[in-house]
Structure 1
Amino acid sequence: MRLPIRLRGVLLAMALLLAATAVVPVLLLGAAEGGGGGVVAPAPPFNSSRVKAVSWSPRIFVYKGFLSDAECDHLVRLGKDKVRRSMVADNQSGKSVMSEVRTSSGTFLDKRQDPVVSRIEERIAAWTFLPEENAENIQILRYEHGQKYEPHFDYFHDKVNQARGGHRYATVLMYLSTVDKGGETVFPTAKGWESQPKDDTFSECAQKGLAVKPVKGDAVLFFSLHVDGVPDPLSLHGSCPVIEGEKWSAPKWIHVRSYENSPDMEVETEGCTDKSQYCAQWAAAGECGKNPVYMVGTEGSPGQCRKSCKVCDS
Structure 2
Amino acid sequence: MKGKGGWSPKLELPLLFLSWSLFFLAGLFGSMLFSQDVNGVRSPPRLLESVEEEYSSMPHGETGESSVDLIPFQVLSWKPRARYFPHFATAEQCQSIIEMAKSGLSPSTLVLRKGETEESTKGIRTSSGTFISASEDKTGILDFIERKIAKATMIPRNHGEVFNILRYEIGQRYNSHYDAISPAEYGLQTSQRIASFLLYLSDVEEGGETMFPFEHDLNINTFNSRKCIGLKVKPRRGDGLLFYSVFPNGTIDWTSMHGSCPVIEGEKWVATKWIRDEQQED
TM-score calculated relative to the size of structure 1: 0.62
The answer as to 2:73 corresponding to 1:51 is yes
- Give 1:229's aligned residue: 250
C-alpha distance in 2, partners of 1:161/1:47? 40
Match of 1:91 among 113, 118, 128: 113
Q: Is the 8 A contact 1:140 1:248 kept in 2?
A: yes
Match of 1:151 among 155, 158, 176: 176
Q: Is the 8 A contact 2:178 2:256 kept in 1?
A: yes
In the TM superposition, residue 228 of structure 1 has moved relative to its aligned partner by 0.9
Q: Is the 8 A contact 1:91 1:157 kept in 2?
A: no
* Amino acid corresponding to residue 163 of structure 1 in structure 2: Q
Secondary structure at 1:126 match in 2? helix
Secondary structure at 1:150 match in 2? strand
- Give 1:183's aligned residue: 208
Distance 1:75 1:96, change over 3 A: farther
C-alpha distance in 2, partners of 1:103/1:143? 8
- Give 1:109's aligned residue: 132
Q: Between Structure 1 and Structure 2, how many residues are aligned?
A: 215
Secondary structure at 2:181 match in 1? coil
Larger Rg: 2
Distance 1:96 1:163, change over 3 A: farther
Q: Is the 8 A contact 2:183 2:189 kept in 1?
A: no
Note the 1:96-245 alignment, pairs <5 A: 99-114=122-137, 115-158=140-183, 163-164=189-190, 166-191=191-216, 206=228, 208-245=229-266
Distance 1:66 1:158, change over 3 A: same
In the TM superposition, residue 46 of structure 1 has moved relative to its aligned partner by 3.8
In the TM superposition, residue 91 of structure 1 has moved relative to its aligned partner by 1.5
TM-score calculated relative to the size of structure 2: 0.69
Provide, for residues 68-96 of structure 1, a one-character-per-residue CA deviation record: whole Å limited to 9, x for no partner: 11110111011111111001111116987
Distance 1:253 1:93, change over 3 A: farther
In the TM superposition, residue 99 of structure 1 has moved relative to its aligned partner by 2.5
Provide, for residues 31-71 of structure 1, a one-character-per-residue CA deviation record: whole Å limited to 9, x for no partner: xxxxxxxxxxxxxx9423x2000001110000001111111
Q: Is the 8 A contact 1:174 1:250 kept in 2?
A: yes
Distance 1:219 1:95, change over 3 A: farther
Q: Is the 8 A contact 1:143 1:242 kept in 2?
A: yes
C-alpha distance in 2, partners of 1:95/1:135? 27
In the TM superposition, residue 119 of structure 1 has moved relative to its aligned partner by 1.1
In the TM superposition, residue 205 of structure 1 has moved relative to its aligned partner by 5.6
Distance 1:239 1:169, change over 3 A: same
* Amino acid corresponding to residue 105 of structure 1 in structure 2: S
Can you give the 5+ residue segments of structure 2 that lack an aligned partner in the other structure?
Answer: 1-41, 56-67, 219-225
- Give 1:25's aligned residue: none
For CA contacts below 8 A with separation 6 or more, give which structure has more relative contact order.
2
Secondary structure at 1:217 match in 2? coil
In the TM superposition, residue 161 of structure 1 has moved relative to its aligned partner by 7.2
In the TM superposition, residue 162 of structure 1 has moved relative to its aligned partner by 5.2
Q: Is the 8 A contact 1:155 1:224 kept in 2?
A: yes
Distance 1:112 1:90, change over 3 A: same
- Give 2:92's aligned residue: 70
* Amino acid corresponding to residue 195 of structure 2 in structure 1: A
* Amino acid corresponding to residue 273 of structure 2 in structure 1: K
Distance 1:132 1:162, change over 3 A: farther
Provide, for residues 215-259 of structure 1, a one-character-per-residue CA deviation record: whole Å limited to 9, x for no partner: 000010000001111100000100000001000001100001112
Q: Is the 8 A contact 1:154 1:168 kept in 2?
A: yes
Q: Is the 8 A contact 2:198 2:242 kept in 1?
A: yes
C-alpha distance in 1, partners of 2:101/2:188? 27
C-alpha distance in 2, partners of 1:94/1:156? 15
C-alpha distance in 2, partners of 1:252/1:162? 22
In the TM superposition, residue 157 of structure 1 has moved relative to its aligned partner by 2.5
